[in-house]
Amino acid sequence: MFQRIEVVDSHTCGEPTRVVVDGGPDLGDGSLQQQLARFQQSFDDYRKAVVNEPRGSDVVVGALLCRPQDPDCAAGVIFFNNVGFLGMCGHGMIGVVATLQHLGRIDQGVSRIETPVGVVTVTLRDDQSVSIQNVPSYRLAKSVSIDVDGIGAVSGDVAWGGNWFYLVREPMIEMQSTSRKTLLQTASAIRRAINQQGYPDVDHVELFGAPIAPDSDSRNFVLCPGFQYDRSPCGTGTSAKLACLAADGELRPGQTWTQEGILGTVFHGSFEWMDESEGKIVPTINGRAHLVSEATLLLDPSDRFCWGIEADQV
Ligand code: PYC
């Protein structure tokens, strides 16, 4: 009577990832963009059933393993959350690597994994840390000024790190004394303003403040789609940050940037130029995930909430 979906849950620096390892929708063959389009058009109920309440929560990022088009890739993966789909997800990719190792599908060393926005090269080390060489990242626009309701003048950069980000330069935020609720509301107001100002695709906003640990370079708060914030320092957000630092000449190729997140956990990032004249970099992000559960989700067709509860209905 139940439909069953097998998942492995992990967290990366505090941010959860739920990988669907069996029982998910079969998206067929073709490119990851084509498979993503099928997921969006025909199987959106699965997205809600896996990550939304009552089985998940607004903060969970889901990852569906699928067939890669490139036979050299160990897997394909599509990331999703409480309101839709993500191009790439850095913390999620680290969780996927830990899960694939747990399933015996990859070994330590280098593997390639396909996403809808490109191939990511991952390295699993014997201390269980994972480096992800992310998709090419770049800054699209520098110092875009916006006027934000209730806040005033804000300036920031628009950059791609596998998702679209607005990275706030001014004002810097005092993170420790500001409540999460205020940070969420501030970042959401900024997102509305930058979307209205000609950047409708920006769905993540990164606020920055002084780090707490003496060996970190910066602390961030990252607003994600679905009125949620990243508990980790955000892999795609750190990639976008590296692209801005590279473009401003504030970080050299190979130099390490330690990005602290809102829980005090860190990602170490660095970059190599892909095309310096175009400001395109190849970022590498290093972190680790911990597995927390293996579970079977049960879908009971007689349950009113069998396919999850819409995020905006909770
Ligand atoms: O780590 O890239 C990331 C990410 C995106 C949204 C949540 N985490």
Give one DSSP letter per residue of 168-219, joined into a string: EEES---TTTS-HHHHHHHHHHHHHHHHHTT-TT--EEEEEE--SSTT-SEE
Q: What span, in angstroms and rounded, lies between the C-alpha atoms of 198 and 115?
A: 27
User: What is the tens place of the pLDDT at every residue in 196-229?
Assistant: 999 999 999 999 999 999 999 999 999 999 999 9
Q: Catalytic positions, please? A: 89, 234
CA of 76 to the centre of ligand 1 (A): 17
- For the purposes of burial, counting CB atoms within 10 Å of the CB of 245, is it exposed (0-12), middle (13-18) or buried (19 or more)? buried
Whether residue 11 has its Cβ less than 6 Å from ligand 1: no
CA of 302 to the centre of ligand 1 (A): 34
CA of 224 to the centre of ligand 1 (A): 8
The predicted pLDDT at position 314 comes to: 57
How far does CA 272 lie from the centroid of its chain? 21
Whether residue 90 has its Cβ less than 6 Å from ligand 1: yes
Residue nearest to ligand 1 atom 8, measured at CA: 234
Ligand 1 atom with the smallest distance to the CA of 230 is: 7
Give me the tens of pLDDT residue by residue for the chain, a chain 314 residues long. 999 999 999 999 999 999 999 999 999 999 999 999 999 999 999 999 999 999 999 999 999 999 999 999 999 999 999 999 999 999 999 999 999 999 999 999 999 999 999 999 999 999 999 999 999 999 999 999 999 999 999 999 999 999 999 999 999 999 889 999 999 999 999 999 999 999 999 999 999 999 999 999 999 999 999 999 999 999 999 999 999 999 999 999 999 999 999 999 999 999 999 999 999 999 999 999 999 999 999 999 999 999 999 877 55
Ligand 1 atom with the smallest distance to the CA of 12 is: 1
* Pairing, β 138-148 against β 266-275: unpaired
The predicted pLDDT at position 34 comes to: 98
DSSP single-letter state for residue 46? H
Pocket test for ligand 1, best of 13, 15, 238 (most atoms within 8 A of CB): 15
Residue nearest to ligand 1 atom 7, measured at CA: 230
**N- to C-terminal Cα separation, the chain:** 27
CA of 218 to the centre of ligand 1 (A): 17
CA of 231 to the centre of ligand 1 (A): 9
Which residue is it, tokens 């060489």? 133
The predicted pLDDT at position 310 comes to: 87
Instruction: With CA atoms as reference, report the closest residue to 274 among 242, 238, 228, 226.
Output: 242
Whether residue 89 has its Cβ less than 6 Å from ligand 1: yes
Whether residue 235 has its Cβ less than 6 Å from ligand 1: yes
Counts of helices then strands in the chain (DSSP H, E): 5, 18
The predicted pLDDT at position 211 comes to: 97
pTM: predicted TM-score of the whole model, two decimal places: 0.97
Whether residue 220 has its Cβ less than 6 Å from ligand 1: no
25 Cβ contact list (under 8 Å, min separation 6): 38, 39, 42, 43, 46, 64
Nearest 5°: the CA angle 195, 192, 155 is 75
Whether residue 251 has its Cβ less than 6 Å from ligand 1: no
Pocket test for ligand 1, best of 97, 232, 259 (most atoms within 8 A of CB): 232
CA of 108 to the centre of ligand 1 (A): 23
